[in-house]
Structure 1
Amino acid sequence: MIAFFKRIRTTYIYHWIIWVILIIFKLTMDYSIFGSFLILFNLKVFLAFFIIFYLNYHLLLPYIIKQKPRTILIITVSFVVIYTSLMILLMPPLPQHPPDFPKNFKKDFNHSLSFHDIFFKIGLFSIIFSTLLFFVDKWQKNEKMIKDLEFERQSGELKILREQINPHFFFNALNSIYSLSIAQSKDTPRVILILSDIMRYVLNDKNTQKNNLNDEIINIKKYVEIQAIRFNKFNNINCQFYGNFDAYKIGPLLLLTFVENAFKHADLRKGPLHIQIHLKDDVLDFSIRNFYEKKSEKFNDNKLGIKNTKMKLDLLYPEKYQLDIDDNGSEYKINLKLQLD
């Protein structure tokens, strides 16, 4: 029952506001003219108003809009012609001379409602008013439906992209473990444990569009630890993290994709790999830089993760990010500025 009234209150919020304004306006005008609120008379007026309004709003208009365009035109024209004709035919005769209002006109005001008043004056206003409000409500519902469909479309696309990125990410991580196992590194169990933590995190948050930024940063640190163990003979992996990450959310694996792509292609013998993540004034500044050895075209085209990440940025942060990628043939730079919510 509570949910029912809550739905009514939410659905007809504009109705309640407009009705209150109309009632207050009518009572104020009556008081300024007649010196009274005319409670009984106005009760009859608004009762007739409500009945005609919602008969048109809930019965007539929903029926009409379901018809074909030609039928709608015929119904509309027929209604206007018939209504106008009846209004002219049933209109009471106009007085020959201006009415002579008595001094006690305000007190002697006739509180009755004629058939002509209800059917034409009140009825015409009710029909016009309810028709306008009906199409405003219809437009709002259509806008909400479009937004819901767009959200579902984006969610579906993000799910597809995520299913593509995750195997890509884990494939690269398993390659790292494979390299350690070939070298019979004592750190192999540690790397497997870290990777299992990452896999658990990814699988647990699979249905969310955005994750806590601090959790994503922790995941990046775990991945960097895997790579640091793998490249322990090179002491040139530099990471800097600044900001209150726990207060924001971000798309899952959005930054990690750039990081794992950099490690995949980096040649640490040529120079260090730099990762910087700074957060200030709701703007995330992420940059990564690494050297690499020029290889075949097949190597250069293997950028599925970067491509999918760009698509995720377009879906999750339209017009809220700036992504710059610079490749001079030996050094690869990425800088992402992202406006967080």
Structure 2
Amino acid sequence: MTAFLRQIQTTYIYHWIIWSILIFFKLIMDYSVFGNFLLLMNLKIFLVSIILFYINYYIALPFLIKQSPKKILIITISFVVIYVSLMIIFMPPFPKHPPFPPKDFNPNGRMMRPFHHDVNLYDIFFRIGIFSMIFSILLFFVDKWMENGKKIKALEFERQSSELKILREQINPHFFFNALNSIYSLSIIQSKDTPRVILILSDIMRYVLNNKNMQKNNLNDEINNIKKYIEIQSIRFNKFNNLNEEFNGNFESYEIEPLLLLTFVENAFKYADLRKGALDIKVHLENGLLDFKIRNFYEKKNHEKSSDSKMGIENTKMKLNLLYPEKYQLNIDDNGSEYKINLKLQLN
């Protein structure tokens, strides 16, 4: 019962607004024509109208739309035939002579026409009934259309949520393998950087696991995670000085999908040939517009992307489509030896 009342108060609240408008204009029209609000008569009319309206709205129409198209056609035709026949049978006779002017008729003023305040059966079942049925049919199908629209949106949201959940759970493992290989290499030569790399990798793994199911994460945390990843790779490629990174902007004030940018950074380090040229990573944030750029050089013969890398980039594109529709621009340029990525993302 409580759920039903809540539905009346929310989904169908505009029904009551429409009824109020109709009642208001009916009273004003009666007053302008008859000089009286005719409250008793209008009370009867609208009470009957509302009863007939909701009998048709909640009982007759829901029953009808559940039937097959053939049954709907038969029921509709039968109802119309019976209804019109009864209307003709019970129709009151037309007056043979025009009615005499009322006693209070004033040629120089407004004519106060007499009016009977009774609402007879013919008025109820035919005049008021036709209005109530047409009105209820119109609102019924408008409500169904709105309800179906909400269901479609809910299903679409559920589908996108499921897709996003799957994408978040598809973590590209090659970074962890590369990091572990780096730790293994450092441990063989007993490098003093080994404990530091293990600690950084632990922080990154914690970040990844803690943010798998988050809706959004602070952009500053995401940037710090990328910086830790770059630090591991810097230690790994310490014999080269071709790593350039720039981070500009107030990252604390914005949020972003966790791990959205990391895939591009991973692929850049995976395929970069630092002997051919520098690896550049630039992140600039201004007025909520994130400008993310990566450039790296590579050996063409070694640049056949693995299925994991391709899936990682495609997953990132799908995340952008789901989470930031019409709010991003992604350009990927590959000239055979130089690979560039430029992502412009409008953050809220």
TM-score (norm 2): 0.87
Of residues 107-116 and 244-253 in structure 1, the stretch that sits farther from structure 2 once superposed is 244-253
How many angstroms apart in 2 are the aligned matches of 1:327 and 1:282? Answer: 28
Aligned-pair distance for 1:58? Answer: 1.0
Aligned-pair distance for 1:40? Answer: 2.2
What letter is aligned with 1:48? V
The structure-2 alpha-carbon separation of the partners of 1:138 and 1:247, relative to structure 1 and needing over 3 Å to count, comes to farther
What letter is aligned with 1:308? N
Q: Secondary structure at the match of 1:9?
A: helix
Contact 1:169/1:257 (<8 A) preserved:
no
The structure-2 alpha-carbon separation of the partners of 1:170 and 1:135, relative to structure 1 and needing over 3 Å to count, comes to farther
| 1:164 matched to 2:202 | no
Contact 2:248/2:283 (<8 A) preserved:
yes
Aligned-pair distance for 1:297? Answer: 6.2
Aligned-pair distance for 1:255? Answer: 1.2
The structure-2 alpha-carbon separation of the partners of 1:297 and 1:118, relative to structure 1 and needing over 3 Å to count, comes to same
Partner residue of 1:184? Answer: 190
Q: Secondary structure at the match of 1:323?
A: strand
Of residues 169-178 and 46-55 in structure 1, the stretch that sits farther from structure 2 once superposed is 169-178
| 1:70 matched to 2:70 | yes
Partner residue of 2:199? Answer: 193
What letter is aligned with 1:340? L
How many angstroms apart in 2 are the aligned matches of 1:217 and 1:336? Answer: 15
Q: Which runs of 5+ in 2 are unaligned?
A: 106-110
What letter is aligned with 2:231? E
Which one has the largest radius of gyration? 2
Partner residue of 2:59? Answer: 59
Of residues 145-154 and 5-14 in structure 1, the stretch that sits farther from structure 2 once superposed is 5-14
What letter is aligned with 2:251? F
The structure-2 alpha-carbon separation of the partners of 1:208 and 1:122, relative to structure 1 and needing over 3 Å to count, comes to farther
Partner residue of 1:327? Answer: 334
| 1:274 matched to 2:274 | no
Aligned-pair distance for 1:55? Answer: 1.0
Of residues 166-175 and 72-81 in structure 1, the stretch that sits farther from structure 2 once superposed is 166-175
Aligned-pair distance for 1:126? Answer: 1.1
Of residues 94-103 and 124-133 in structure 1, the stretch that sits farther from structure 2 once superposed is 94-103
Partner residue of 1:21? Answer: 21
Q: Secondary structure at the match of 1:254?
A: coil
Identical-residue share of aligned pairs (%): 73
Partner residue of 1:222? Answer: 228
Q: Secondary structure at the match of 2:73?
A: helix
Q: Secondary structure at the match of 2:233?
A: helix
Q: Which runs of 5+ in 1 are unaligned?
A: none
The structure-2 alpha-carbon separation of the partners of 1:153 and 1:234, relative to structure 1 and needing over 3 Å to count, comes to same
Contact 2:271/2:302 (<8 A) preserved:
no
What letter is aligned with 1:84? V
The structure-2 alpha-carbon separation of the partners of 1:270 and 1:66, relative to structure 1 and needing over 3 Å to count, comes to same
The structure-2 alpha-carbon separation of the partners of 1:173 and 1:163, relative to structure 1 and needing over 3 Å to count, comes to farther
| C-alpha RMSD over aligned residues | 2.6
Partner residue of 1:47? Answer: 47
